[in-house]
Amino acid sequence: MARVRAVDPELIKRTQAFLLSRRDGQGGFRASGRAVDTFGRAPKHTTDAYIVWALVESDPDNAEKMDLTREIASLKKQSLDADSRWGKDAYFVALVANALLLRGDREAALTLLDRLRDRNLKDGAVTGAETSVTRSGGRDLQIETTALAVLGWLRANDAKYAAAVRAATRWITQQRAGSGGFGSTQSTILALKALTLHARTHAHPPEAGEVRLLVAGKPVAAKRFTEHDTEVIGLDVPDPEQLFPAGARTDVEVVTDAKHPYPFTLSVSGTALTPPSSEQCPVGLQTRLTRLEVTEGEVVPLTVTLENRQKAGQGMAVAVVGLPAGLKVPTDLKQLTETREKGVVSFFEVRGRELVLYWRELAPEQKVTLTVDLVCDVPGEYRGPASRGYLYYAAEHKDWVAPLAVKIRPAGPEEPVAGK
């Protein structure tokens, strides 16, 4: 962060000092005895590698002379054993390769980077990672691993990695969501680090030109740009329903007369009452209102159940429960606060019409059920947004639940509204 905005240097030094104080003398780091998670914790080799990488990344020129000799030697030995669990873990190998490069062990780093290119690069993505420091999985883990590999290949500055860099940066760019993120916070940060270094490494003189969008061979949008345009150049497609018939294959081309290549993103958005669930989602969600017809001022219980469908523990899990507009969570949040204090949930927040519940971890086949009393606030018939459950660090795989619906009758003269 200090490279883009002001950060107190003492904060960095204190953090470095704390991490160094956790060394176990055997080439690794001691985990906190106060850790409240078990299944959400990354494997030791992953955590050790991430800590070393973070330390050398915070001091890339080794100006502070932090002594990490024992730790780097341990990581190097583990990673160079290509047939071991560690040597087959692409995320671990990529972390170690970057750390070795930043500390001048180019020969060992190139051996690891060659392995990533030859064994793990498939269609632009670097596969074969066990998990990350945040216990991510699926596409988010692939983004993190691919980004770390790209950082290593670019820092190596060797022409033999040029094809791998082109394929990987193209794949990372294609993972960008319409909102600008690349999955979770961790995968977005690493994707941006890799793409920023790539842009800096492959910088070219500013130029003017035109970008055009063709659908089925016909131009549908165009925009001129000058050498002074440094922000994203966006093209909106008019009448997309007509241009992209449902179920039909449609060819799309992005064309520019500029002399240099530019990254691009094609975003398509749509709306569904209940999006399709992913078969790869390891958690299942259920939501239920105890009554579908209620009276203004009454309280209706909402039951939420999140289940780990697998016999393996999971890291951070999330349930986003859509609330019909006529219902609201009591403003004192007392019931939810008690639920958190009892450990039923790790954290909660209310965002507009959605109640968001978090769990730091889920044990194998664990099922969590809680009840939240909602206040029937405004008469009418309402339907909320669809609810979903998922792992925070594998958010592309969600279990979607049909929207909750409720009918709230106005309170009669003999039925005073609560609080009035």
Residue 416 in this model has a pLDDT that exceeds 70: no
What pLDDT is recorded for position 80? 97
First to last CA, the chain: 51
* Same structural domain, 104 and 241: no
Report the CATH number at residue 95. Answer: 1.50.10.20
Residues 222 and 334 both lie in one domain: no
Which tens digit of pLDDT belongs to each residue from 253-297? Answer: 999 998 887 877 777 777 889 999 999 999 999 999 999 999 999
| pLDDT for the residue 415 | 56
Are 124 and 192 members of one domain? yes
Nearest to 89 by CA among 140, 43, 58: 43
Question: Residue range 48-59: average pLDDT?
Answer: 96
Q: Are residues 52 and 189 in the same domain?
A: yes
- By the 8 A CB rule, do 53 and 133 touch? no
Instruction: Name the CA dihedral angle for 19, 24, 26, 29, rounded to a multiple of 10 degrees.
Output: -40
Residue 420 lies in a domain: no
Query: Does 125 share its domain with 240?
Result: no
Cα–Cα distance, 163 to 180 (Å, whole number): 26
- CA 315, CA 346: separation in Å to the nearest integer? 12
Residue that has been written with the tokens 């691919």 in this structure: 146
End of a domain among 201, 227, 243?
Answer: 201
Residues 242, 296, single domain; the answer is no
Average pLDDT taken over every residue of the chain: 92
SS percent in the chain: helix, strand, coil, step 5: 30, 25, 45
The secondary structure of 35-86 as a DSSP string is: ---STTSPPHHHHHHHHHHHHHHHSTT-TT----HHHHHHHHHHHH-TTSTT
With pLDDT > 70 as the criterion, what percentage of the chain qualifies? Answer: 96
Helix (H, G, I), strand (E, B) or coil at 183: coil
What confidence score (pLDDT) does residue 12 get? 94
pLDDT single digits (tens) 296-349: 999 999 999 999 999 999 999 999 999 999 999 999 999 999 999 999 999 999
Q: Does residue 36 register a pLDDT over 80?
A: no
Q: Does 414 map to a domain? A: no
Query: Do residues 94 and 118 both lie within one domain?
Result: yes
The answer as to whether 419 is a domain residue is no
- The total of structural domains in the chain comes to 3
β-pair type (317-322, 252-256): unpaired
**38 lies in some domain:** yes
Q: What confidence score (pLDDT) does residue 24 get?
A: 95
Domain with 249 in it: 209-256
**Do 117 and 226 fall into the same domain?**
no
CATH of the domain at 302: 2.60.40.690
124-183: per-residue pLDDT in tens?
999 999 999 999 989 999 999 999 999 999 999 999 999 999 999 999 999 988 778 999
Q: Note whether 174 and 233 are same-domain residues.
A: no
- 261 inside domain: no
Whether the per-residue pLDDT at 19 is higher than 90: the answer is yes
374 has a pLDDT exceeding 90: yes
**CA proximity to 391, closest of 358, 366, 352:** 358
**pLDDT value of residue 37:** 63
| Together in a domain, 29 and 135 | yes
In a domain, residue 59? The reply is yes
